[in-house]
Structure 1
Amino acid sequence: MTIETTDNVRSLVAVAQQAAAPVALETGKYHVLRTGDGIRTVDLTGPDHTGIPARKSGTTTVRDAVSFAAYFTKHADPDTEVYADADRLTVTAVLDAHTADTARWSGHRLTLGLRKTESWAQWLELDGRLMQQEQFAEFLEDHLPELLEPSAAEMLEIAQSIQGATKVEWQNSTRLASGQRQFQYVETTQAKAGQRGQLTVPETFVIGLVPFEGSAGYQLTARFRYRIGKDGGLALGYKLERPGDVIRKAFADVVEKVGADIEQPIMNGTPA
């Protein structure tokens, strides 16, 4: 019978402990391990282990051309595709679009979603609608900064004249040689019953509006509209001339600005 020395026993224990010690596996790599049951493969390359997504994905929406260019410059590559859709008023970049030889995910996108300004929406909301005198006058007063011709001061005077002629009976209107329209009225208040007066307004006026947030401003012509009711009341309004053309021009200018900041061509349409 062989008796192991104390030193030999200690050496065997140390070897056994070293063999049983756990081995740290490096993340981001594949590992092949020999176990009692055979060979086992361990995949530590996924995002759960590395903390890094497998690929870029998702759609980022920006509101102006400058923001579009900033994000685009950071993430685009030579095979990125860009589309402009005039119906939806959007510019979309497929940042990981297919290459000529290789299919890619096409799941990382950037969209310029233009947002119409509040002033544009307010002018379009009342376009072609007739309003009571006070409502129309208040609308002009609220939008003085957008009134270009006649000047805001002149339009304010017109608005105040409209407000001051509420208790009257409107009789007729005449188009003057200057292009203005003159309305005749008779006072109906007890103190001034029968006193005649007149209100002169321009046939057309020019406004300046910014259609989209962050875009340039554009001029529009508006035509005064009116109706004298059978009861002698006066309804006033305006009709914008071809606002759709202004929107299309504004969108085209935004697309042109986007194109000036990137190298890729901009295609007309929408991505798949």
Structure 2
Amino acid sequence: MKPEITTIAVKGLGGGLPDTIPVVLFPGEKGGTLRVLKNEIEQFRTGPDRRRGTATVTTLLSFIELVNRHKDDDSAIFAKTDWPKPALTAVLDYHTLDGSPRNADHRVLYTFPITPEFQAWIDNVGKKFEQAEFAAFLEDHAAELAAPLDAEKIEFERLFKATLAAPNELISLARDLDIRVGQRFKQAVKLQSGEVELSFTEEHTNATGEKITVPGIFMIAMPAFVDGAQVRIPARLRYRATGGSVVWFYDLYRWQDELRDRVSQDLAKAGKDTGLPTFEGSPETTSRGL
């Protein structure tokens, strides 16, 4: 007898199975033998059986547009909002609301690329600058210095008990520091305003050097993420006098919290613009390790 193609019903044997599967029946003694046709059929496939893999985008807008292109009613967005590796992950074939499992391995990933400008501020937090180095740094990053808002001035001057400087005051400080290169630090006087007056003197004289006024805090403002919205962060300006010279450094006040807040806002925007549910956390790891 010749082999024949037939089907076997598998409905009800578990999730993820079709109602029937095709097999080849080879008649013979003891009922003959069966061969499943899946492997033979797969040899002739000209396209993938389903969508899978992870697309990585570099802007929030691209994330939203790509998710909208591929989403369905059961897609979901997950977010890691804390530093150092914030990310949004859309699982386009996420498990259904009625409890049916799906593959969950077709995804879109956005990892919040940091702008070069903000990366420079992060990289130099706590770094000790000589006078000339710090003057050059402030000059190079003048575009990121921001005028304080009235509410910021009230909040941070009260918090740090120091004067919050305007951008022009920081640029003036940078120029004053540049002039003082080669001069020796003499003394510092804390003013009632929270500013500090530094005195310098020429090494070969005993004359009293001219004073420069140093504010205690200043604001920076720039996009933290590529093509993202601005963040505003206060920076504490500090110095240390050693052996007749001064080194400068700064701290960014709670900048990780500011970035977390920015990521949370972007997560809310992604949810609103895609119409998908959002969750803080990570989706399940699939067998493909995604």
Q: Same-fold call, TM > 0.5?
A: yes
Give the Cα–Cα distance (whole angstroms) in 1 for the partners of residues 135 and 208 of structure 2: 23
Q: 2:215 aligns with which of 183, 202, 207?
A: 202
- Structure 2 distance, partners of 1:257, 1:245, is 18
Map 1:46-65 to 2 at 5 A.
49-65=44-60
Report the AA paired with residue 178 of structure 1. Answer: S
State yes or no: 1:261 paired with 2:273: yes
Residues 1:104 and 2:102 aligned together:
yes
Please say if 1:116 is aligned against 2:114. Answer: yes
Q: State the AA in 1 paired with 2:132.
A: E
**Separation (CA, whole Å) in 1 of partners of 2:168 and 2:191:** 22
Contact 2:198 2:211 in 1 (8 A): yes
Partner residue in 2 for 1:214: 227
Per the alignment, do residues 240 and 58 of structure 1 end up closer, same or farther by CA in structure 2, a change over 3 Å counting?
A: same
Equivalent residue runs for 1:227-242 within 5 Å: 227-229=240-242, 231-242=243-254
Q: Please tell me whether residue 75 in structure 1 is matched to residue 73 in structure 2.
A: no
User: In structure 2, what is the equivalent of residue 5 of structure 1?
Assistant: none
Q: Does 1:168 align with 2:183?
A: yes
Q: Which residue of the partner structure matches residue 248 of structure 1?
A: 260
**Could you say if the C-alpha distance between residues 115 and 45 of structure 1 is closer, same or farther in structure 2, counting changes exceeding 3 Å?**
farther
Alignment length (residue pairs)? 236
Measured after TM superposition, the shift of residue 253 of structure 1 is 1.2
Question: What is the root-mean-square deviation in Å for CA atoms of aligned residues?
Answer: 2.6
C-alpha deviation, 1:155, in angstroms: 2.1
Aligned-residue sequence identity (percent) comes to 29
Distance 1:198 1:80, change over 3 A: same
CA apart distance, 1:50: 4.8
CA distance in 1, matches of 2:112, 2:266: 9
Structure of greater Rg = 1
User: Conserved in 1, the CA contact under 8 Å of 2:55 and 2:109?
Assistant: yes
- Give TM-score, length-normalised by structure 2: 0.73
Amino acid at match of 2:183: V
After superposing the two structures, state which structure 1 stretch, 179-188 or 46-55, moved more: 46-55
TM-score, length-scaled by structure 1: 0.78
1:95 aligns with 2:92: yes
What is the alpha-carbon distance in structure 1 between the residues aligned to residue 209 and residue 49 of structure 2? 81
AA at the equivalent of 1:58: G
CA pair 98-145 structure 1, distance change in 2 beyond 3 A = same
Candidates 193, 201, 217, aligned match of 1:186: 201
Shift of 1:197: 1.5
**Which secondary structure does the structure 1 equivalent of 2:56 belong to?**
strand
Structure 2 Cα separation of the partners of residues 120 and 41 of structure 1: 59
* TM superposition shift of 1:103: 2.6
Measure, in 1, the Cα distance between the counterparts of 2:116 and 2:246: 28
Structure 1 CA distance for aligned equivalents of residues 87 and 118 of structure 2: 18
Q: After superposition, give the CA deviation of every residue in 1:51-102 in whole Å (9 maximum; x if it has no partner).
A: 2211111100112221111111111111112211224411111111222253
Deviation, structure 1 residue 151: 4.1
Which residue of the partner structure matches residue 26 of structure 1?
none
TM superposition shift of 1:47? 6.6
Q: Counterparts of 1:155 and 1:173 in 2: how far apart (Å)?
A: 18
Does the 8 A contact of 1:47 with 1:53 survive in 2?
Answer: no
Where does structure 2 lack aligned partners over 5 or more consecutive residues? Answer: 1-21, 25-34, 148-164, 285-290
